[in-house]
Amino acid sequence: MKKFLFLVVGVMFSAFSFVMGQCQITGNLIDEGNEAVPFANVVLTRIGDKFSVATLSDDKGYFCLKNIQKGMYQLNATMLGFEIWTGSITVTDDATSVNLPDITMKVSVTNLAEVLITGTSHISEIKPSMIKYKTSSLISQSGGTAGDILKNMPSVAMGGSPGHNRDIRFRGLGNAYTKVLINGRESGLSGNNRETVLDQIPAASISHIEIMAVPGAEYQGEGINGIVNIVLKDNANFGLHGKAEAMGGNHNGTSGGFSISNKTEKLNLFANYDFLHRNLPKPKDKLKTDFSNGKVTQVEDSYELESKNFTNHNLRTGIDYLLNPKTKLSAEYIFGYQLEDKDRSLEYTRTDGAGKFKSAARELKTEYKPNTYHQVYGAFEHTFVRQAKLLINASYQTESQKKTEEKATYALTQKGKWANFQPALENKYENQNGEKLLWNATLSKIKLGKSLLNVGYAGEADSRTFNNTTDKFNYKDTTWTKSSNGFDNFKVNETTHAFFVTDEYKLAFLKLKAGLRFETTKTDGNAQTTDLNASKSYSLLLPSATATINIDKTQYLTVNVGRRIRRPGFKDLNPFTEQKEPTKYAKGNPELKPEKAWAYELGYLKNFSKFNVGANLFYRDITDVIQKTITEDENGIVTEQPQNTGRAYVAGYELMSTIKPFDFWQLALSFSRFKSEITSGAYSGDALSDQYKWSGKAITDFTLPKGWSGQVSFNAVGPKISDSKEESTIWFADLGVEKRFLTNGALTFRMTDVFDSLVKRKTERTDKSTTDETEYGLGQVFLVGLSWKF
C-alpha cells in the first residue's frame, strides 16, 4: 500500500508542476447563507484610464484574474438577483498575487420571502430545515474523526465503546434511523444497519457537516430521523495550495495528513491523504444473575479487558476539467483502509444461588479485522443560460470486511488455577464483501414563472455476501474440525429505482417547497449452501413539503412534513446465528419488512444583536417497527433477533442558542429531549431500542491576542430506559488550544474527557436473568500537533 500511495503522490506532483496557473487576483463569491454564487460577472477596472479585465466566477463561486499591471483598481461583481458588489484593490507591482477574502453578495430583495435568515456563529449555521457545523472551528476535536465532530452537534449521541465514536444516534434513536452521506452520496465502510462507519473519516478532510431532519424529495427516502451529509474539503481555490499536519499523544495516538491542489481556469487537480492510529483499552465489569420462581439459581461475575488498536489510511484524488465555463467533467477516486487489531482477556466465575462455586474460566481472544473500500466517481455538469443545471453522475464501490478470531478458553479451579492443560481452541473466519453501483440524472433550478423545479432519476444496485466458518480443535485426534451450518454463506442483492420532482415558490413573506419521490425496491436473499431463499419487492410514494414564513428580517417559522423509510440492515436479513459472548447469541430475520414513517417538524429562529435562539418540535409516526426481541432458554443462553413489532412514535424538542457578548468570547448551547413508545403489538408501551432520553451540549470559544484561541466543549447524553434494557447518563468535556504563527502555521493541543468521567453502565433484563455491565473510558487522551498551509 505504501508503494501505491507514493506512486499516486508522485503522479500528482508531476501533474501539478505541469498545470500551475498564473492567477494574480483570486477570490470567492458567496451569498449571505455562505453558499457559492456561481457564474457571476467579475470586472476589474483600473482607476484613471479605465483599463479593465473581466471573467466569470466558476461553479464554486471562485474567480481568477490574470495579466494585471500595477495600479489602483475597482472590482465589481454582478449577478442577476443580487446587489452589485464593489471594492477597491491596489496592485503594487506586476508580480503581485492577491487572494481576496470571501466576498458576500446580498440578494436583491423584492419581497420578504427572498431573505435568507440564518443563526450564524463561529461554529454553526442554523437555517430552515438544516443545521451546519464547520469542522475548522472545532479545535477541541483536532486530529479526530467525523464521529468526534458529530458528537458535538445538537441532539446527537455516538455509538461505540466509551471514547470510540463509531456511528451516529440522532434524536434519541439508534444508528439505523439516520442516513449518512458523504458529498451527497453513499460512500465508505458500512455496518450491520447500513450505517456509515464514521471513525474511518478523518476530521481534517471535512469542510462541514449538515443535518437535514426532513430532507426534500431530491434525497433518497432512507433516514426516518433525517440525513447527515458530510461535505469534504473541495480544493476549489485557484493556484497551487496545500497543507501538511501531524499530531501525536498518549495511548500511541498519532494522526496526520497531506493535501495538495492546483487549479487553473480549465483544470483542477487535487489529492488528499490522511492517516490515524489509536489504541483504545476498554475495561468492563459484568454481573449476570439467573433466577427461577423468584429465587437466584446462578451468579456469573466477569471482568474483561480489551485492547483495540485501529489504524486508518484514506486517499482521495480527482480531477475537474472545464469544457467551457459552464460545462464540467469530474472524476474522483477514493481509497479507504481500516485495521482493527484486538486482544481480549475475559475471566468469569459462576456460583449457585447459595454462593457455592460451580465453574470458572479464562477466555483469551485475538481479533484481526482488515477492512478496505475503493470508490470511483464520474460526473458531467452543465449550467444553462437561466442557471438551470444538468447533473449526470455515477459511482462504483467495492467493500471488503474480514475478521479472523482466535479464541482459547481455559477452565479454572476455585483458586483461579488451570483445571487442565487442554484449553478449548476455536478459530472463526468471517468475510463480508459488498459492491455498490449508484447512478443519477438531475435537472435542477428550472424556472417556470415564479416556480423553481427540480426533476430527476436515481438508481442503486447493492450486493452483499457473508461467508463464515468455524474451526474447533479436537484433542483426541489432534486435528481441526471445520464447521459451517449452511446459513453462514448468505448473499443479498438489492436494487432501487427512484423518480422525483420538487417545486419551489416564493410569495410575499412565504417560501413553499413541495416534492414527490417514487421508489421501487427489490431484495433477494439466499443461503448459498441450502434452499433457504427470501425475495420481496415493494414500492413507495414519499411526499414532502416545507413552508418557511419570514416574520421579519430577523426571525422565521418553518413547517415540514414528509414520508421516510428505514430498510432492514443487510445483516438483519441474514439468518445465521452469531455468538457474541459465551452466553449471548444474535441472528437475523430474512422476512423483515422496512419501517415507514411520517415525519413532522415545526421550527423557529430569532436573531438578536448579541445572540440568537432557535427551537424545533418534531414527531415521527412509525409503522412496521423493527425491534430486537430478546429470549433466553433454560440453559441461560440469550438470543437477540429483529422482528417487525407494530407501530410506534418518537417525539421531542430541541432548544439552541448562540451568545456572543464580547468579540473575544462566544457560547453555543443546545438541549434536546426525546420520547418514544411502541403503541401496538407484543411490545406495546415499551420504548424503541437504543432510545435515549435527552442530550445537552455547550461549546465555549475564546479568541485571544497574538494568535491564541481556546475551546471547551461539554457533552451530556441522558439515559436509555426500556422494559428490557437500561443505560445510564454519560457526560464528558473536551479541550482544545491553538496558537497560529507566521500566517500559515498552527500549533494545536487537544485533550478529550478532561475530567475522566466517561463511563457507560448498562442493565439488561429477561424473564430469567438480570445483567449489569460497566464499561470504562480511556481517561484523559491528549494530542499535540503542528500544521502548515502553503
Q: Please report where in the chains the cell 443461503 appears, as a residue.
A: 527
Q: Residue 49: exposed, middle, or buried by beta-carbon count in 10 A (0-12, 13-18, 19+)?
A: exposed
Q: What is the pLDDT of residue 5?
A: 46
For residue 7, what pLDDT is reported?
45
**CATH superfamily name and code, 119-231:** TonB-dependent receptor, plug domain (2.170.130.10)
Grid cell digits, residue 633: 432458554
CB 308 within 8 A of CB 280: yes
For the chain, where do the domains classified as CATH 2.40.170 start and end? Answer: 232-236+247-789
pLDDT tens digits for 525-537? 887 666 667 788 9
Rounded Cα distance between 381 and 387, Å, is 12
Phi, psi of 363 (to 5 degrees): -110, 125
Strand partners, 702: 665, 710
Pick the CATH number of 232-236+247-789 from 3.40.30, 3.30.70, 1.10.1660, 2.40.170: 2.40.170
Cα 42-47-50 angle, rounded to 5 deg: 70
Q: Which of 164, 376, 151 is nearest to 276 (CA)?
A: 164
pLDDT surpassing 70 at residue 543: yes
Confidence band, pLDDT 50/70/90 cuts, at residue 286: very high
Comparing CA positions, the residue from 281, 258, 259 lying closest to residue 269 is 259
Placement of cell 465555463 in the chain:
325
Query: Rounded to whole angstroms, how far apart are CA atoms 289 and 715?
Result: 33
DSSP 9-57: HHHHHHHHHHH----SEEEEEE-TTS-B-TT-EEEEEETTT--EEEEE-
Judged against a pLDDT cut of 60, whether residue 265 lies above it is answered with yes
CA angle 88, 93, 99 (to 5 degrees): 50
* pTM for this entry: 0.88
The 3-state DSSP class for residue 297 equals strand
- The grid coordinates listed for 719 are 439515559
Q: Would you place residue 484 in the very low, low, confident or very high pLDDT band (cuts 50, 70, 90)?
A: low
Q: Tell me the three state secondary structure of residue 224.
A: coil
Of residues 30, 114, 128, the one with CA closest to residue 79: 30
| pLDDT tens digits along 363-393 | 999 999 999 999 999 999 999 988 899 999 9
What are the pLDDT digits (tens) for 107-143? Answer: 887 677 777 778 877 778 888 888 888 887 888 888 8
pLDDT of 89-111, one tens digit each?
A: 888 876 667 888 889 998 887 67
- Distance, in Å, from the CA atom of 517 to the CA atom of 218, rounded to the nearest integer, reads 7
Q: Tell the CATH superfamily of the 2-108 domain.
A: Carboxypeptidase-like, regulatory domain (2.60.40.1120)
- State residue 92's pLDDT score: 83
Residues of CATH 2.60.40.1120 domain(s) within the chain?
2-108
| 470-498: average pLDDT | 82
Give dist(CA 64, CA 86) in Å, integer.
17
510 has a pLDDT exceeding 80: yes
Confidence of residue 756 (pLDDT cuts 50, 70, 90): very high
Closest CA relative to residue 119, chosen from 676, 711, 554:
554
Q: What backbone torsions phi and psi does residue 208 show, to the nearest 5 degrees?
A: -160, 170
Q: Which residue has the cell 414519499?
A: 542
Q: Could you give the percent of the chain with pLDDT greater than 90?
A: 52
**Is 54 in contact with 278 (CB distance < 8 Å)?**
no
Residue 12's Cα: distance from chain center in Å?
A: 28
Please determine, for residue 647, whether its predicted confidence score (pLDDT) is greater than 60.
Answer: yes
Instruction: Check pLDDT > 60 for residue 13.
Output: no
Backbone φ/ψ region at 226: left (φ over 0), alpha (ψ -120 to 50), beta: left
The answer to whether residues 316 and 205 touch, using CB atoms and an 8 Å cutoff, is: yes
Are 614 and 665 within 8 A, CB to CB?
no
Q: Are 666 and 122 in contact (CB under 8 A)?
A: yes
User: Which residue spans of the chain are classified as CATH 2.170.130.10?
Assistant: 119-231
Q: How far is CA 397 from CA 1, 275, 540, in A?
A: 18, 21, 26
Residue entry with cell 471547551: 712
The pair phi, psi for residue 4, each rounded to 5°, is -60, -45
pLDDT at site 188: 81
SS3 state at 596: strand
Handedness of CA 470, 772, 715, 656 (dihedral sign): positive
CA distances from 758 to 160, 565, 728, 736 (A): 12, 33, 11, 18
